[in-house]
Amino acid sequence: MGSVGEPVASPNTFPVRPSPFRYNSPLAQVSLIGLVCFCCPGMFNALSGMGGGGQVDHTAANNANTALYTTFAVFGVLGGGFYNLLGPRLTLFAGCSTYALYAGSFLYYNHYQHQLFAILAGAILGIGAGLLWAGQGAIMTSYPPPERKGTYISLFWAIFNMGGVFGGLIPFFLNYHRTDARSVNDGTYIAFMCFMAAGALLSLGILPPSRVIRDNGTRATAVAYSDVSTEAVEILKLFADRRMLLIVPAAWASNFFYSYQFNNVNGLLFTLRTKGLNNVFYWGAQMVGSLAIGYVLDFSFRSRRTRGYVGITVVAVLGTAIWAGGLANQLRYTDGVWQDELDFKTSGADYAGPFVLYFSYGLLDAMFQSLCYWMIGALADDSQTLSRYSGFYKGVQSAGAAVAWQVDTHKVPLLSQLIVNWSLTTVSYPLLAVLVMLFVKDGNTAEDGESDHPKVMSS
């Protein structure tokens, strides 16, 4: 093989179309990072989706998540720099290694009811999550060909959220007959820890961008790893970058609604086993939503900018309808008290409406976040730039989440929480439209990155 940026040649060589199922293809690598996230954040999402981390008292989980998202806000922004310094394998392995500790802290809490371990584990997980998601964002947005980024983002999102589906089945089956229980059993946390440890090992299989070859024979990127001073300067520049400032409200909103949906819809309205079942459909809805919006963003129109506008419109209309449904449901328990918990077997028709609402929340989450990642991917094509953009997005997202978990801890009225969530997502749509208008180009070359990477030749 030649060095990065040079074609590999021999006598009588000519370009060939490699199989997309090669280990070094974008399809294989994006699928692999999807599996890594299936095992780590996918299982974390299933645990969080139970409401209170599977505990009847949400305080410990809320405080642990506040610590998590506070450190995540910092290391999300710095994560792109670490990725550019360390490369994908070390960055991802270090990040994934922190997830099992967090699940283990709730296993400990199940026995001793001490918050400190859970809070410390949450803070450590925030550091790891910042590294993982910055690396994931760079891989997902820079490895695919520019004209198929929406498709690959939706593929990743589907695999990743399958983790939430499987993770929802774990508490459902392990707590199925515990009809009087209020908190999940030890086996639930142990199962989550096993999956999370497997995800850390899988992360070692991710290839650096210079070794990933697209189907047309071009390298994914020709990146030379950076140094500390360069990364520090480039990260600081993000805070004055108009592209990043336009995406701030969407980033802030994109995890802000989790505390409301997990704790005060799924966690409050349903029985323990039904919460697990609901999560299966919540994360399953994410798979459907990501695939649907991925199709719109890649195939609906020839013009990339038009696809962006259409994607924003679709998400805005659907989001408005879903939050309106959420408002109608919330008006049934404005005092935050739901008298009779709903069970999928015994509640009959009363279960249907809240279930459909929670399913729809999952659908909207995937479409909203996939849209944001598509926007980021349309702004550049090289791994270095996109790792910084993705890190900035995750940092702002995590800062919003840290505030949201404390909002719930301080018992802010649920109607107020819903209105704030709805308002944040609504404000995001016109700003994303401005981002498309000013910075998304119609060609396959993004503004800050070259798409015409050197071709690899094969005999």
pLDDT digits (tens, 9 = 90+) for 435-456: 999 998 876 555 444 444 444 4
- How far apart CA 387 and CA 357 sit, in angstroms, is 34
Kindly indicate the confidence band of residue 53, based on its pLDDT and cuts at 50, 70 and 90: low
pLDDT at 4: 36
- How far apart CA 361 and CA 269 sit, in angstroms, is 15
Domain ranges of the chain: 26-439
Mean pLDDT of 333-345: 88
pLDDT at 311: 96
- How far apart CA 281 and CA 270 sit, in angstroms, is 14
CB 275 within 8 A of CB 267: yes
pLDDT at 114: 83
Mean pLDDT of 2-20: 43
pLDDT at 15: 47
User: How much of the chain, in percent, has pLDDT values that exceed 90?
Assistant: 43
Q: Select from 239, 217, 237, 235 the least CA-distant residue to 227.
A: 235
- How far apart CA 388 and CA 288 sit, in angstroms, is 28
User: Helix, strand, coil % (nearest 5) of the chain?
Assistant: 70, 0, 25
Highest mean pLDDT among 106-115, 296-305, 317-326, 409-418: 317-326
The predicted model scores a pTM of 0.77
pLDDT at 224: 55
Q: How many secondary structure helices (H) and strands (E) does the chain include?
A: 17, 0
CB 251 within 8 A of CB 397: yes
Pick the CATH number of 26-439 from 3.90.1150.10, 3.30.70.380, 3.90.650.10, 1.20.1250.20: 1.20.1250.20
Q: Strand, helix or coil at 338?
A: coil
